[in-house]
Chain A
């Protein structure tokens, strides 16, 4: 922990305190009292200060292009700020809208870290989820005004305290970890190092497997197993003079070789969830006998 300087630690602590105080001021009152406009204003200012202060811990190296750097900061600020607004809005419709902004920012960050398919997939999946949430809000919300339970929070002080203590506990080891991943020269290691090693391993496995298949020295099922289960999980690297391999094709290749069982499990999970949702949500005859038996109930 000696790697994290005392000044950094104090700055981080102040950031967390500012963020916690601002978020607490923005949350609804525990007894449903109306917070004055001044509390909202002070809360917003404190949260803005905390977000700007925590951006001081983000380090974007000079080797990153200016456009990437700008978009990283845009998406990061958007994610954090909209996340705070999601949990502090009194109106669930506003919460859903802010959450949509969080999802957009997250998919932008996915895009910046080379996960194009996931960026598109997240937007598609969560757009559907948020539209359904809107339908639910419109269908179930109270007619006039905001509901009482939207204006009351459950133990906001202790919830804020425990959450931001957890944030402190998460960020302090992260910041203290920074020099551990550096080389002895103080340079960060190349990210593709493990990738190249894996590529050569996969190539070796491929050739030996084919040779053994021709010669018939290995049992066939073993060759097939090794070729299917072999490590293929390397991100496509841009090599000079060659086109970059297709992103989705590589992802699909990994998904259907290394992680075949995962796909099967995910499919089964979706199927079970479909059946479960149907079993839960289908309307059943009334529980109270006094309401009267509808014509759908059978006496058998």
Chain B
């Protein structure tokens, strides 16, 4: 496929849209896993821009940069998921608003009224669960309660 200046412009627009949508997700969502996915989406938009520029100028640099982005994204994924795991162990929740004590000095905390939230709409109908046939021998249950978990 010939890669004209117009095609480069298409790639830049798509990259900008992905980047901005990732930023929106990171700013507005409160689930830490969704925030992580949004950050990855910003990286995807940037990678698209770099590959488009590299193809337009006829050199490898854009692809090399994108390989570096992939590496950094892998590192970020490992660190971020480890952090999410440890933060979930502390508060038993994925809500990022529970960590407001890490905010800047001089800012007041945002208080959520949980009572304001309406309950999840109930879906009418009969709840059905799959019937599973028990297989194998039932393992022995632990005699003492679980002590490893911190909460």
Contacts and interface: CB of A to CB of B under 8 A. Distances in A.
Interface of A: 23, 27-28, 31-34, 54, 57-61, 63-65, 68, 72, 76, 79-80, 83-84, 86-87, 89, 92, 95-96, 99, 102-103, 106, 109-110, 112-115, 117-118, 121-122, 125-126, 129, 132-133, 136-137, 140-141, 145-156, 159-160, 162-164, 166-167, 170-171, 174-175, 177-178, 181-182, 188-189, 191-195, 198, 233-235, 237, 250-251, 254-255, 258-259, 262, 266, 269-270, 272-274, 276-277, 280-281, 283-284, 286-287, 291-292, 294
Interface string B22-42: 111101111101101110110
Contact of A152 (B41, B56, B112): B112
A276 B51 contact: no
Given A68-B1, A86-B38, A280-B86, A159 B27 contact: yes
Contact of A250 (B33, B60, B75): B60
A59 B10 contact: yes
Given A34-B121, A181-B5, A287-B150, A160 B24 contact: yes
Interface of B: 1-14, 16-25, 27-31, 33-34, 36-38, 40-41, 44, 47-48, 51-52, 54-61, 63-64, 66-68, 70-79, 81-86, 88, 93-97, 110, 112-114, 116-118, 120-121, 147-148, 150
**Can you list the 4 inter-chain pairs with the closest CB atoms, starting with the nearest?**
A32-B117, A87-B25, A195-B58, A273-B75
12 contacts: A34-B118, A59-B9, A80-B14, A113-B7, A114-B1, A115-B63, A166-B20, A171-B13, A255-B64, A269-B72, A270-B74, A294-B147
A121 B115 CA distance: 46
Contact of B81 (A96, A136, A294): A136
Given A110-B51, A274-B78, A277-B78, A125 B6 contact: no
Given A106-B48, A154-B29, A167-B20, A86 B41 contact: yes
A103 B48 CA distance: 11
B74 A106 contact: no
A102 B41 contact: yes
B3 to A, nearest CB: 5
B150 A270 contact: no
A132 B17 CA distance: 26
A35 to B, nearest CB: 10
Contacts of B40: 99, 126, 129
A234 B59 contact: yes
A60 B24 contact: no
Contacts of B77: 129, 132
A133 B37 contact: yes
A53 B86 CA distance: 44
Contacts of A148: 95, 114, 117
Contact of A154 (B30, B81, B93): B30
Contact of A109 (B11, B120, B147): B11
Contact of A92 (B1, B34, B70): B34
Given A83-B21, A281-B82, A194 B58 contact: yes
Given A113-B3, A115-B51, A270-B71, A149 B31 contact: yes
